Amino acid sequence: MNFTGANILSVDQFDIDSIQTIFATADRMQPYARRQKRTKVLDGAILGNLFFESSTRTRVSFGTAFNLLGGEVRETTGMESSALAKGESLYDTARVLSSYSDVIAMRHPKSGSVAEFAEGSRVPVINGGDGANEHPTQALLDLYTIKQELAYHGHTVDGMHICMMGDLKFGRTVHSLSRLLAMYKNIRFTLISPRELAMPDSVLEVLAQAGHQVVITDQVSGISDADIVYQTRIQQERFTTPQEADLYRGKFRLNSEIYTKHYKPNTVIMHPLPRDSRAEANELDNDLNQNPNLAIFRQADNGVLIRMALFALTLGVADQVDKYECDV
């Protein structure tokens, strides 16, 4: 894949080689993210950071990643503060904002909206989440984390057993991660959700075509040898009413007692965050916070590395980062 100038809209545009390129570039970003080195490789460049739906990690880590490469960030947050609220089209917004920016990161509540926006943009557009559809940068940081966590235990992505649990219908992170993992070999997927919130057929077809073993269930069972448990939040914002989401909240919790009972001692615990910590939901309990297998904050940290790598690659400066080093 030629990254320079490319939009990053879906994990479907990657193959194993391009994923390796992103991860190798992310590895090289570590000293800059840790403030051991400083670079001005993107000095003078501007990121348009457009978040038309709420976000903490994705929005701030995109901005942090761009700043760490020496660039500046212009933010638009919330639909109501943009001219989209006055009926302006995504195309017109993209044409205008792309002349103010060198690259744009965007989140929007509607599936397909970021791709629609990209048609009007004259600079690369990176999808920060479009409705229940995709969240490709989250999937990359999840896979990067999975590789690190499994390597620590002497395992690989090929042949692993992953359990995904919760709202698999509306959770865009599990859609993108499943599609990425489909590119690897002999993975066992145990997909645990209420029947009404099962993984979409479009994702299941990709897994079946790639020959992976998939078990779909609404029971917490068959997971005693899972290498990874990937817990998700009930995506209340995708339901017609909060009351409808209430029907499913708290159905599949993970806490220390459940973890000890159902999983092997070194199963890695993941969650894209935010976790819903309200008592009626609490899908990932704080009593796991000190468990060394809890990888949720390592996931969030890796988000900066992955997003730095994507900026460096799409703006064609990945090989020049060290040339523009300056004093720390």
Footprint of ligand CP (CB under 6 A): 55-59, 129, 138, 272-274
Report the alpha-carbon distance of residue 45 to residue 71 in Å, rounded. Answer: 5
CB closer to ligand CP out of 301 and 325: 301
- Cβ 271 to ligand CP shortest distance, Å: 9
Buried b (16+ CB within 10 A) or exposed e, 34-48: eeebebebbeebbbb
In 3-state terms the chain splits into helix, strand, coil percentages (rounded to 5) of 40, 15, 40
Closest CA to 9 of 159, 99, 179, 126: 126
Nearer to ligand CP, 242 or 274 (CB): 274
Residue 61: what are its φ and ψ, rounded to 5°?
-70, -30
Question: In the bound complex, what is the minimum distance in angstroms from residue 309's beta carbon to ligand CP?
Answer: 17
DSSP 127-150: EEEETTTB-HHHHHHHHHHHHHHH
Residue 108 or 212: which CB sits closer to ligand CP?
Answer: 108
Q: Which is nearer to ligand CP, 58 or 101 (CB)?
A: 58
Q: Report the residue number, 212 or 307, with the smaller CB distance to ligand CP.
A: 307
The burial class, CB within 10 Å (0-12 / 13-18 / 19+), for 52 is buried
The distance between the two most distant Cα atoms of the chain, rounded to a whole number of Å, is 56
Q: Write out the DSSP string of 74-142.
A: EEEESGGGSGGGGT--HHHHHHHHTTS-SEEEEEESSTTHHHHHHHH-SS-EEEEEETTTB-HHHHHHH
Nearer to ligand CP among residue 78 and residue 274 (C-beta): 274
> Closer CB to ligand CP, residue 63 or residue 124?
63
Quote the least distance from Cβ 62 to ligand CP, whole Å: 9
- CB of residue 54 to ligand CP, shortest distance in Å: 7
Instruction: Supply the minimum distance, in Å, between the C-beta of residue 56 and ligand CP.
Output: 4
CB of 172 to ligand CP, least distance (A): 9
Q: How far is the CB of 273 from ligand CP (least distance, A)?
A: 5
- Alpha carbon of residue 14 to chain centroid: 15
